[in-house]
């Protein structure tokens, strides 16, 4: 979890310890009460009744003149004693029962589990009250009553832990070595079962203390004159209005112990809370200061400015029908120390009606670099650089837009199709509800029936049969290909000028893939829509793209027109990708070449070319200086210094094939 | 073939639910009956003493024992007791020598009213605070809400009632300190019962909603230009509804049990106060009766929440299996299908 960086000052471990401190204090006070207490908690002194706090009685005295502080401290002792007794009993009973059930399995396990389930599902307070109701109050009955409901969670935890261990090879080995069940349970199962139970016990303290106090308050727990906390409160009740010192301290003591215990339990149960994606879209005023921008490693990166849009490295100038122009885009995420870039200095552009394909391996930053301009990354991502969209009538800088401004772009001018169609659709809403919402967002909706007619039209447009019926289906009822079409219908609702498709076909089988690619090509032709298609599959790319950008380790290493890229690839990585595509024409038995090494590095991990370690033509200099994208021909850029000078020469050389 | 199959599947699930619920209730009744076995002292002697107004003679005790059927073996007594209990006959209170059934019937309305009011308070407040906790970024408001919620769950109900009495009743004089009369008397019991429940519920709402809002469909909703409010209401909350409903059911059950304390504190003539009185007097039949009713209500609230949880998720409805046929005859409309296919798990199913 990378949330640790947002913590100010105190590390998470220490915070858990801090939370546990009141519990520790409770235990210490309980143990040392006889030493700490200034007076005998049961010594009456009617002459000194109901005295307010003074130097002699720090917390005043009660109606019988007893020292309230001493009674409070001794109350901790009683609570602690009852809690310890209850925990000892329920831990022993629970862990042993659970371990036996988990170890034996079969019918015994089923019966015990059923009993545990019922015991867990019963309200503890009711059980305790009922048991005390038939047995009468007193410390012994109190411990029995509370233990009767406290044991079950331990049994459940221990059973789950042991059942998980039962089939492990470790136990099989022990059995083969001749260890009996007693030894296996005692030495090898009880300790691991006990550990999570002890953790749970720390959070159970609060519930037990609260239960005991409540029972005492109802007159069914610890009988007077023992100074139990709940007992103190019930005795102080008649003097509530006049003697505040009787009403507050015991309540505060109980609340503090229970609060610490609950807080600890919540921390252990849910861990650190992650911020949601939504906080990204809330108005800035509702948010705490945005993550500070720590200096990214290369200090050359710039904040989005109007000028950075024009200070382009490419030769093409603005106002020429270029729909999206991305310049020096970098994306970084919080990391152990500061931020770590995952996409660095990316430049690309999408002319109207053109299809740009972004290819690269998993983790090369291709999805991040195409979703970043539209604010569709994790809230912790920091995007810098420039991305201008010339949609509608005017040109807009996309980096740094506010959420309401984004809503004017997303859905209206830009539609997005995500990779995992099942995850990208809300499982609880019908396809029609999704599309309806998209239609309404873009202002094309009207009354329910009108909106639905537009929806059905969109579903028909993306080639779904029976739009009326499909609109009423839930996402899980459709096949992957149909869901992908549904996503497309959502994306098309605003008649966008740009469609961003992230791996639109990778989860589909080949025939469905082909249909979907045909559909995309048709939409481009019919609607004149520009597209960015992210894919790791060059076969997809060659069917669709006008231009191709190849990414490696968060940077574009080569970009150019499709034909150039396929026939004259210059960068060794591009050539490697092409070589890895199986071709129907090759002789049987030819092994297609795969690239050695592995991917997954970030753009700033190496001083030089990130591909150098895997590159067949690398020279030592490659690992020293970061290569820059150089223009080879109009629209064709490559970041390989060894190739760009004599591109044609090298491209002429036939790629070697293993085993040929 | 289709319709009967569907019926069998739906009917089977309902039947299974009913059988399971009855099983748990039966176990509760057995446990409740078994309280007698834990008892110290002789119930017959207690009732005889109540009737005579002084310690009873052995003959009087034996007469009562025979009248109560306490001389029969325990399993037989259990069956008799259960048969009577089902018809609402819980016997005579050892404390007052009056029938228990009508007493419970008189009191249950008060308790249900209290629980209903507190449940509304807990749900409204819990969901609102939980949503705020999930949506706002770490900051002052969030910290306050979270601490407040945890504090509300940690404060003992009886002490919270003290604080309210001190402030609302004694200092401000807005409401009476106890009793059940006008609307003003409802304020404190509802607050004492509802606030801790709201706190607990809000934590669950915050955590589950946050999880639901971290899913890719939220990103997809942002991509189509949906507003945050729409995302929370249409995408976040429905997807978090399962765990929330489950905890809400548990919360309502806990409210029912919580009336034990609250009615006692504020002197309300409800079932909870009756239970405490019975426990204090070791009035075993009355104790058994009220434990059975309160416990049964607790179990039913939880079981009903389970049903609601299934109903909100179309994926868990058995009759909506994954289908891949594209063209569909008109009679085969969504919502009333019963394909024989098993429902592929939504996350792991092949696409």
Q: Starting from the edge strand earliest in sequence, which strands make up the sheet with A555-561, in order?
A: A414-417, A498-502, A530-535, A355-359, A547-552, A555-561, A636-638, A630-633
Please state the separation of Cα A511 from the chain's center in Å.
Answer: 34
Chain B residues 274-303 within an 8 A CB cutoff of chain A: 275-276, 278-280, 282-284, 287-288, 291, 294-295, 298-299, 302
pLDDT of residue B323: 40
**Distance (Å, whole) CA A423 – CA A419:** 9
**Distance (Å, whole) CA B266 – CA A533:** 68
| Span between the terminal Cα atoms of chain A, in Å | 48
Whether residue A72 lies within 8 A of chain B, CB to CB, comes out as no
Whether residue A220 lies within 8 A of chain B, CB to CB, comes out as yes
Higher-confidence residue: A193 or B46?
A193
Which H or E element spans position A212? helix A190-217
* Residue B260 contacts residue A126 (beta carbons within 8 Å): yes
Residue B87 confidence (pLDDT) above 50:
yes
Mention every residue, 6+ apart, whose C-beta is less than 8 A from residue A269: A203
Torsion of CA A219, A222, A225, A228, to 10 degrees: -100
- CA A246 to chain B, closest CA, distance in angstroms equals 11
Residue found under tokens 């591909």: A611
The tokens describing A329, both together, are 């885009």
Verify whether the Cβ–Cβ distance B239 to A441 is below 8 Å: no
Residue A651 confidence (pLDDT) above 60:
no
| Architecture label for domain B109-317 | Orthogonal Bundle (1.10)
What mean pLDDT is reported for chain B? 80
DSSP B234: I
Contacts of A268 in chain B (CB under 8 A): none
Whether residue A401 lies within 8 A of chain B, CB to CB, comes out as no
Domain chopping of chain B, boundaries: 109-317
pLDDT of residue A180: 81
| Span between the terminal Cα atoms of chain B, in Å | 28
Question: Shortest CB distance from A428 goes to which of B166, B313, B321?
Answer: B313
**Distance (Å, whole) CA B291 – CA A130:** 7
Verify whether the Cβ–Cβ distance A277 to B219 is below 8 Å: yes
- CA B259 to chain A, closest CA, distance in angstroms equals 11
Verify whether the Cβ–Cβ distance A131 to B38 is below 8 Å: yes
Residue A217 confidence (pLDDT) above 60:
yes
* Residue B193 contacts residue B118 (beta carbons within 8 Å): yes
Question: Shortest CB distance from B257 goes to which of A123, A219, A507?
Answer: A123
Closest residue in B to A290 (Cα–Cα)? B137
Residue found under tokens 């018809």: B87
Report, as an integer, the average pLDDT of A65-77: 86
Question: Shortest CB distance from A278 goes to which of B138, B213, B276?
Answer: B213
Q: Which segment of A147-156, A292-301, A481-490, B90-99 scores lowest on mean pLDDT? A: A292-301
Whether residue B35 lies within 8 A of chain A, CB to CB, comes out as yes
pLDDT above 90: percentage of residues in chain B: 18
Residue B333 confidence (pLDDT) above 80:
no
Q: Which domains does chain A have, with CATH numbers?
A: 12-33+65-286 (1.10.3720.10), 302-413+496-580+594-638 (3.40.50.300)
* Residue A79 contacts residue A30 (beta carbons within 8 Å): yes
Verify whether the Cβ–Cβ distance B35 to A277 is below 8 Å: no
Name the nearest CA neighbour of A142 among A235, A209, A239.
A209
Q: Grade residue A93 by pLDDT with cuts at 50, 70 and 90.
A: very high
Verify whether the Cβ–Cβ distance B162 to A482 is below 8 Å: no
Residue A658 confidence (pLDDT) above 50:
no
Whether residue A247 lies within 8 A of chain B, CB to CB, comes out as yes
Question: Shortest CB distance from A438 goes to which of B38, B137, B224?
Answer: B224
Q: Left if phi > 0, otherwise alpha if psi is -120 to 50, otherwise beta: which for A426?
A: beta
* Residue B268 contacts residue A96 (beta carbons within 8 Å): no
Question: Shortest CB distance from B320 goes to which of A121, A420, A474?
Answer: A474
Q: Grade residue A434 by pLDDT with cuts at 50, 70 and 90.
A: very high
CB atoms within 10 A of CB A311: 11
Q: Grade residue A436 by pLDDT with cuts at 50, 70 and 90.
A: very high
Verify whether the Cβ–Cβ distance B314 to A474 is below 8 Å: yes
**Distance (Å, whole) CA A107 – CA A98:** 14
Report, as an integer, the average pLDDT of B61-81: 82
pLDDT above 90: percentage of residues in chain A: 9
Chain A residues 267-296 within an 8 A CB cutoff of chain B: 270, 273-279, 281-282, 286-288
Which of A48-62, B109-123, B175-189, B255-269 holds the top average pLDDT? B109-123
CB atoms within 10 A of CB A319: 7
Buried b (16+ CB within 10 A) or exposed e, A49-82: ebbeeeeebebbbbeebbbbbbbbbbbbbbbbbb
DSSP A346: E
Question: Shortest CB distance from B154 goes to which of A134, A206, A493?
Answer: A206
Chain B residues 153-192 within an 8 A CB cutoff of chain A: 153-159, 162-163, 165-166, 170
Verify whether the Cβ–Cβ distance A240 to B165 is below 8 Å: yes
pLDDT 10s digits, A455-475: 998 898 888 888 899 899 999
Report, as an integer, the average pLDDT of A109-136: 86
What mean pLDDT is reported for chain A? 79
Q: Taking each helix axis as running N to C, give the angle between helix A169-176 and helix A139-166, from 0 to 180 degrees, rounded to the nearest 10.
A: 90
**Distance (Å, whole) CA B312 – CA B314:** 6
Report, as an integer, the average pLDDT of B202-216: 87
Which H or E element spans position A552? strand A547-552
pLDDT of residue B316: 66
Report, as an integer, the average pLDDT of A148-160: 90
Residue A522 confidence (pLDDT) above 50:
yes
Verify whether the Cβ–Cβ distance A278 to B334 is below 8 Å: no
Residue found under tokens 């090759």: A586
Interface test with B, best of A26, A117, A123, A401 (most B CBs within 10 A): A123
Whether residue A302 lies within 8 A of chain B, CB to CB, comes out as no
Verify whether the Cβ–Cβ distance A259 to B150 is below 8 Å: yes
Q: Strand, coil or helix: what is B248?
A: helix
Contacts of B222 in chain A (CB under 8 A): 277, 281, 375-376, 406, 410
Verify whether the Cβ–Cβ distance A254 to B166 is below 8 Å: no
Verify whether the Cβ–Cβ distance B224 to A437 is below 8 Å: yes
- CA B56 to chain A, closest CA, distance in angstroms equals 20
pLDDT 10s digits, A9-32: 556 667 767 777 888 888 888 888
Number of A–B residue contacts, CB under 8 Å = 300
pLDDT of residue B325: 37
Higher-confidence residue: A8 or B255?
B255
pLDDT of residue B192: 92
Residue B125 confidence (pLDDT) above 90:
yes
Verify whether the Cβ–Cβ distance A129 to B276 is below 8 Å: yes
Whether residue B231 lies within 8 A of chain A, CB to CB, comes out as yes
Q: Grade residue A267 by pLDDT with cuts at 50, 70 and 90.
A: confident
Verify whether the Cβ–Cβ distance B224 to A287 is below 8 Å: no
């Amino acid at each position: 979890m990378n949330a640790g960086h947002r913590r100010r000052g105190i590390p998470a471990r220490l915070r858990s310890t801090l939370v546990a401190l009141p519990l520790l204090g409770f235990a210490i006070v309980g143990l040392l009460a006889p030493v700490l207490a200034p007076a005998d908690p049961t010594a009456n002194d009617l002459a000194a009744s109901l005295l307010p706090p003074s130097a002699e009685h720090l917390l005043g005295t009660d109606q019988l003149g007893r020292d309230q502080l001493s009674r409070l401290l001794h109350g901790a002792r009683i609570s602690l004693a009852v809690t310890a007794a209850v925990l000892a009993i329920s831990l022993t009973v629970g862990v042993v029962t659970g371990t036996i059930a988990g170890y034996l399995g079969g019918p015994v396990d089923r019966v015990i589990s059923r009993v545990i389930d019922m015991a867990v599902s019963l309200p503890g307070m009711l059980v305790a009250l009922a048991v005390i109701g038939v047995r009468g109050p007193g410390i012994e009955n109190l411990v029995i009553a509370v233990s009767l409901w406290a044991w079950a969670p331990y049994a459940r935890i221990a059973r789950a832990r042991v059942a998980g261990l039962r089939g492990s090879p470790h136990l099989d080995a022990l059995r083969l070595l001749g260890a009996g069940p007693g030894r296996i349970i005692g030495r090898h199962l009880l300790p691991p079962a006990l550990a999570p139970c002890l953790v749970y016990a720390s959070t159970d303290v609060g519930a037990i203390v609260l239960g005991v106090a409540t029972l005492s308050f109802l007159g069914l727990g610890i009988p007077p004159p023992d100074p139990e906390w709940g007992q103190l409160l019930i005795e102080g009740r008649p003097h509530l209005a006049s003697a505040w010192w009787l009403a507050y301290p015991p309540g505060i003591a109980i609340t503090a112990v229970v609060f610490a215990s609950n807080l600890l339990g919540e921390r252990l149960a849910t861990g650190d809370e992650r911020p949601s994606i939504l906080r990204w879209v809330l108005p800035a005023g509702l948010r705490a200061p945005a993550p500070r921008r720590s200096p990214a490693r290369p200090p050359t990166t710039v904040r989005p400015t109007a000028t950075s849009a024009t200070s382009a490295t490419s030769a093409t100038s603005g106002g020429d029908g270029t729909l999206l122009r991305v310049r020096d885009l970098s994306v970084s995420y919080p990391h152990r120390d500061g931020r770590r870039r995952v996409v660095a200095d990316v430049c690309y552009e999408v002319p109207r009606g053109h299809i740009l394909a972004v290819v690269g391996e998993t983790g090369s930053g291709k999805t991040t670099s195409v979703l970043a301009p539209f604010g569709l990354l994790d809230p912790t991502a920091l995007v810098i650089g420039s991305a201008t969209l010339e949609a509608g009538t005017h040109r807009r800088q996309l980096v740094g837009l506010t959420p309401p401004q984004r809503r004017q772009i997303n859905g209206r001018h830009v539609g997005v199709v995500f990779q995992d169609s099942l995850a990208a659709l809300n499982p609880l809403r019908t396809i029609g509800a999704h599309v309806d919402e998209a239609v309404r967002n873009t202002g094309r909706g009207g009354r329910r029936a009108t909106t639905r007619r537009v929806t059905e039209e969109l579903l028909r447009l993306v080639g779904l049969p029976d739009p009326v019926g499909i609109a009423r289906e839930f996402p899980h009822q459709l096949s992957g290909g149909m869901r992908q079409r549904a996503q497309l219908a959502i994306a098309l609702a605003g008649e966008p000028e740009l469609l961003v498709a992230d791996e639109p076909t990778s989860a589909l089988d080949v025939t469905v893939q082909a249909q979907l690619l045909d559909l995309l090509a048709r939409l481009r032709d019919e609607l004149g829509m520009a597209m960015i298609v992210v894919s790791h599959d060059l076969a997809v790319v060659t069917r669709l793209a006008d231009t191709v950008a190849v990414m490696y380790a968060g940077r574009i290493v080569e970009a150019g027109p499709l034909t150039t890229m396929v026939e004259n690839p210059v960068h060794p990585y591009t050539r490697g990708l092409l070589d890895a595509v199986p071709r129907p024409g090759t002789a049987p038995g030819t092994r297609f070449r795969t690239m050695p090494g592995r991917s997954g590095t970030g753009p700033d991990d190496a001083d030089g070319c990130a591909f150098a370690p895997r590159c067949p033509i690398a020279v030592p200099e490659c690992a020293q200086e970061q290569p820059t994208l150089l223009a080879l021909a109009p629209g064709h850029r490559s970041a390989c210094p060894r190739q760009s000078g004599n591109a044609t020469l090298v491209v002429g050389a036939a790629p070697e094939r293993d085993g040929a | 073939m289709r319709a009967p199959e569907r019926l069998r599947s739906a009917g089977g699930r309902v039947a299974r639910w009913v059988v399971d619920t009855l099983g748990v209730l039966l176990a509760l009744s057995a446990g409740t009956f078994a309280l007698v076995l834990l008892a110290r002292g002789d119930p017959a002697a207690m009732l005889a003493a109540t009737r005579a107004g002084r310690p009873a003679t052995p003959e009087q005790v034996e007469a009562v024992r025979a009248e109560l059927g306490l001389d029969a073996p325990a399993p037989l007594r259990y069956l008799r007791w259960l048969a009577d209990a089902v018809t609402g006959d819980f016997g005579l209170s050892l404390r007052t020598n009056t029938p228990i059934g009508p007493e419970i019937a008189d009191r249950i309305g008060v308790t249900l009213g209290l629980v209903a009011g507190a449940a509304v308070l807990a749900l409204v407040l819990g969901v609102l605070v939980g949503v705020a906790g999930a949506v706002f970024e770490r900051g002052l408001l969030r910290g306050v809400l979270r601490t407040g919620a945890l504090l509300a769950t940690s404060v003992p109900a009886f002490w919270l009632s003290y604080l309210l009495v001190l402030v609302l009743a004694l200092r401000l004089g807005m409401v009476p300190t106890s009793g059940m009369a006008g609307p003003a008397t409802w304020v404190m019991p509802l607050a004492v019962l509802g606030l801790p429940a709201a706190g607990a519920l809000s934590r669950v709402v915050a955590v589950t909603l946050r999880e639901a809002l971290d899913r890719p469909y939220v990103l997809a909703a942002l991509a189509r230009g949906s507003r945050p409010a729409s995302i929370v209401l249409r995408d976040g909350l429905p997807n978090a509804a399962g765990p929330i409903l489950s905890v809400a059911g548990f919360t309502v059950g806990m409210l029912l049990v919580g009336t034990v304390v609250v009615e006692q504190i504020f002197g309300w003539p409800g079932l909870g106060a009756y239970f405490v009185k019975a426990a204090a007097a070791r009035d075993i039949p009355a104790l058994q009766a009220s434990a059975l009713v309160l416990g049964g209500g607790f179990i039913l609230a939880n079981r009903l929440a389970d049903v609601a949880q299934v109903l909100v998720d179309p994926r868990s409805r058995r009759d909506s299996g994954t289908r891949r046929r594209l063209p569909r005859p008109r009679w085969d409309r969504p919502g009333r299908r019963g394909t024989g296919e098993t429902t592929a798990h939504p996350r792991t199913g092949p696409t």
